[in-house]
């Protein structure tokens, strides 16, 4: 998992509440277990018509939002089923941060396991960032280390669990966290093998 520190990116305004995981990545694209390639189908039913042509007025089909790295959205982002393909598709498209008043719990947890920073902010602040995202200069800077957002020369602070912050800064998912303790694991197994050799067929 890539480390997350500080990004400056185009922020796409999506003032929609209850954006669920089926909207993020529809069920017909869940057949793969690969984390790559799903970005092409992110928000598929909102981005494309039945004939495959683009929906002209959908935000991610317009410049400069085709290259968005941040989404500013309504409350309860990521509700619905617990599919991990949702954060996979966001990452594959290039989204590394979602700012919203609230998130569905499972989606929120899955974000940290896949290198996405989900930021919870008060509705009033999200509304201000939504206006910036919809302006002529929709770039927003997110600094994880200082836990701040800079937009239109205004600073916003956000709260984050210290452990989750550490994992994102160091690029540690569940596997990475386990590998960081591999020396201790090896020592335990070696001692355990000596103490209880019958468990190992010795």
Band of residue 34 on the pLDDT scale cut at 50, 70, 90? confident
CATH architecture for residues 6-171: Alpha-Beta Barrel (3.20)
pLDDT at position 177 is: 58
pLDDT at position 199 is: 75
What percentage of the chain has pLDDT greater than the value 90? Answer: 78
Per residue in 143-184, pLDDT (tens digit) is 999 999 999 999 999 999 999 999 999 988 766 655 566 676
Q: CA 113 to CA 84: how far, in whole Å? A: 10
Per residue in 61-99, pLDDT (tens digit) is 999 999 999 999 999 999 999 899 999 999 999 999 999
Is pLDDT of 193 > 90?
no
Report the predicted TM-score, pTM, of the whole model to 2 decimal places: 0.88
Q: What is the CA radius of gyration of the chain?
A: 20
Is pLDDT of 134 > 80?
yes
pLDDT at position 75 is: 98
pLDDT at position 22 is: 96
What percentage of the chain has pLDDT greater than the value 70? Answer: 93
Q: What is the overall mean pLDDT for the chain? A: 92
The residues of the chain that CATH labels 3.20.19.10 are: 6-171
**DSSP per position, the chain:** -----EEEEEEEEE--S--BHHHHS-GGG-S---SSSGGGGTTHHHHB-TTS-B-TTSGGGSTTGGG-SEEEE-SSBTBSS--THHHHHHHHHT--EEEES-B-HHHHHHHHHTT-EEEE--HHHHHHHHHHHTSS--EEEEETTTTEEEETTEEEE----HHHHHHHHHT--HHHHHHTTHHHHHHHHHHHHHH-GGGGT-
């Amino acid at each position: 998992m890539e480390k997350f520190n500080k990004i400056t990116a185009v922020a796409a305004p999506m003032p929609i509440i209850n954006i669920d995981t089926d909207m993020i990545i529809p069920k017909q694209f869940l057949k793969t277990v690969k984390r790559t390639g799903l970005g092409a189908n992110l928000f598929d039913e909102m981005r494309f018509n039945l004939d495959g042509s683009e929906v002209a007025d959908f935000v991610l089909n317009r410049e400069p939002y085709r290259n968005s790295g941040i989404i500013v959205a309504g409350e309860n982002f990521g509700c619905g089923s617990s599919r991990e393909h949702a954060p996979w598709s966001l990452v594959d498209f290039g989204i590394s941060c979602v700012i919203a008043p609230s998130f569905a719990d499972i989606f929120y947890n899955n974000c940290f396991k896949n290198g996405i920073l989900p930021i919870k902010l008060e509705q009033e602040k999200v509304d201000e960032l939504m206006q910036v995202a919809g302006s002529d200069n929709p770039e927003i800077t997110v600094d994880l280390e200082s836990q701040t957002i800079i937009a239109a020369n205004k600073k916003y602070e956000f709260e984050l669990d210290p452990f989750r912050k550490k994992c994102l800064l160091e690029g540690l998912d569940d596997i990475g966290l386990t590998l960081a303790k591999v020396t201790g694991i090896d020592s335990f197994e070696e001692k355990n093998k000596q103490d209880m050799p019958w468990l190992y067929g010795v």
